[in-house]
Chain A
Amino acid sequence: MSGVRVLIGTRKGAFILESDGKRQNWTIHGPHFAGWEMYHLKGSPVDPNRIYASQTSGWFGQILQRSSDGGKTWETPGGEAMPKPGEMPSGASNKFVYDTSAESGKPLTTHQWYDGTQHPWEFKRVWHLEPSLTDPDTVYAGIEDAAIFKSADGAKSWQELPGLRGHGTGPKWQPGAGGMCLHTIILDPSNSKRMYIAISAAGAFRTDDGGASWKPINKGLVSEYIPDKTAEIGHCVHHVAMHGSRPNTLFMQKHWDVMRSDNAGDEWHEVSGNLPTDFGFVIDVHAHEPETVYVVPIKSDSHHFPLDGKLQVYRSRTGGNEWEPLTKGLPQQDCYVNVLRDAMAVDSLDKCGVYFGTTGGQVYASSDAGDNWAPIAEHLPAVLSVEVQTLK
């Protein structure tokens, strides 16, 4: 029988929620890694029991965790084995070192700091983990300060894909309020050489050669808060989503504006339409309907809570522009939570399930594509990320 596993990263640990295919009764497991910030957990599409997790702490830095049994037990990859006499410790799963070699990398440059001065690149944490579509031991990491790393040994070791940071526009990249993070990685299921990433606040980039080189794909984005509002670099992209059956169509929740591209990011146009506010963080696409898109409008960048205290998901069945509020089962008064960029996901059951988590610690689920909602967890720490595995 089919089932669903929801992977929740929070400010104070990770939680795993499980249900059968009816999605009515949920069991909560956790907290895993209690007390640590869990920025992101994601399972391998080819081996659902293989799950990667980013565990961080202001005190003790970055930890990478890996499960091979669906989240029941965890290990720091390569960190369990005692080295032989004379060998160096093998705990390198949390070692993210920018590639500054003249041969393969670029000399470590600077990026723009909040005050406009230049600032050196400094590793802080892993925001997003994206397992390969074909190999459970291959996984990509989006980090702060923004760069993309790859592991081909199950997260035991990591190497930067330096072509992104070496693109040459780095001195124009700048941190958003949450830091200069690479928060979105999308793998094209139809083209193993093509990936998309997004950085706050630099914009979106695409590679067509497996990560060796990258191009900015920000044409059509308009950001009033930067000196040149249509600049190639500097846009605060909050999240990007794609439906696997239409890999050239992308949907973006920018700082302000909901955007769409139908040519793999070469050009974007706004599809905010009748949204009551087009600021927000999450965006996702229905599992079976590539023109059905979900966002959670947030009042503004200075408020970071829903409009009028009403938590509403908006759904477009037309690929944008025409949006309908989805409110059944969601709080419609006195609600002042936020929904962060990686905190929405869908399952692939029929009907499509939609899930999102809030900074108030609630996780809401809809088992009918958004028509009706119910909390499946209500008192967790602030939710940072939500991912869903549909289990066959």
Chain B
Amino acid sequence: MIRVALPAHLRTLAKVDGSEVKLEVAGPATLRSVLDALEARYPMLCGTVRDHVTLERRPFVRFFVCSEDWSHESPDAPLPEAVASGVEPFFVVGAIAGG
């Protein structure tokens, strides 16, 4: 079970309570597999975190893992065991950009 912390607007869009969702991820836990599982469980989030076609992270979205910025990591890099085991959440963060 992987814990994913979502920004408020995406929680509203996904109609979930609390700051986190819990996902079963098939195979190794990576950025790609976590986002695949997130979009499969919550189809309304497709396109909001990463591009529909290129699957690239949207410019104003960042990923944080165990207090480190994973926004620019390879999508297939294995996530730390603490995230894969659900001890630490995987953070999807909206960049601070005014508005």
**Interface footprint category on B:** 20 to 34
A233 and B41 CA atoms in complex are apart in Å by 46
A82 and B40 CA atoms in complex are apart in Å by 7
B58: Cβ under 8 A from any A Cβ = yes
Take A35-B9, A36-B9 as given contacts and tell me if A58 and B44 are in contact as well, using a CB distance cutoff of 8 Å: no
A122 and B27 CA atoms in complex are apart in Å by 34
A81 and B41 CA atoms in complex are apart in Å by 9
Kindly identify which residue among A58, A62, A82, A97 contacts B43, using a CB–CB cutoff of 8 Å. A82
**A60 contacts B43, CB within 8 Å?**
no
Kindly identify which residue among A36, A58, A91 contacts B60, using a CB–CB cutoff of 8 Å. A58
A78 and B47 CA atoms in complex are apart in Å by 13
Kindly identify which residue among B7, B43, B58, B97 contacts A91, using a CB–CB cutoff of 8 Å. B43
Give chain A nearest CB distance to B51 CB in angstroms.
8
**Interface footprint category on A:** 20 to 34
Q: Mark A105-140, 1 if CB is under 8 A from B, else 0.
A: 000000000000000000000000000000000000
Name which residue of chain A comes closest to B99, CB basis: A58
Q: Mark A39-69, 1 if CB is under 8 A from B, else 0.
A: 0000000000000000001111111000000
- Across-interface contacts of A81 in B (CB, < 8 A): 43
**B94 contacts A89, CB within 8 Å?**
no
Take A91-B39, A97-B53 as given contacts and tell me if A61 and B46 are in contact as well, using a CB distance cutoff of 8 Å: no
A83: Cβ under 8 A from any B Cβ = yes
Take A59-B60, A60-B10 as given contacts and tell me if A91 and B44 are in contact as well, using a CB distance cutoff of 8 Å: yes
Give chain A nearest CB distance to B71 CB in angstroms.
13
**B44 contacts A61, CB within 8 Å?**
no
**A60 contacts B61, CB within 8 Å?**
yes
A152 and B10 CA atoms in complex are apart in Å by 27
A29 and B19 CA atoms in complex are apart in Å by 27
- Across-interface contacts of A35 in B (CB, < 8 A): 8-9
A332 and B10 CA atoms in complex are apart in Å by 42
Q: Mark A78-99, 1 if CB is under 8 A from B, else 0.
A: 1111110000011110110100
A223: Cβ under 8 A from any B Cβ = no
8 contacts between A and B (CB under 8 A): A59-B95, A60-B10, A78-B43, A82-B41, A89-B39, A92-B52, A94-B48, A95-B47
Residues of B within 8 A of A (CB): 7-10, 13, 39-49, 52-53, 58, 60-61, 94-95, 97, 99
Residues of A within 8 A of B (CB): 35-36, 57-63, 76, 78-83, 89-92, 94-95, 97
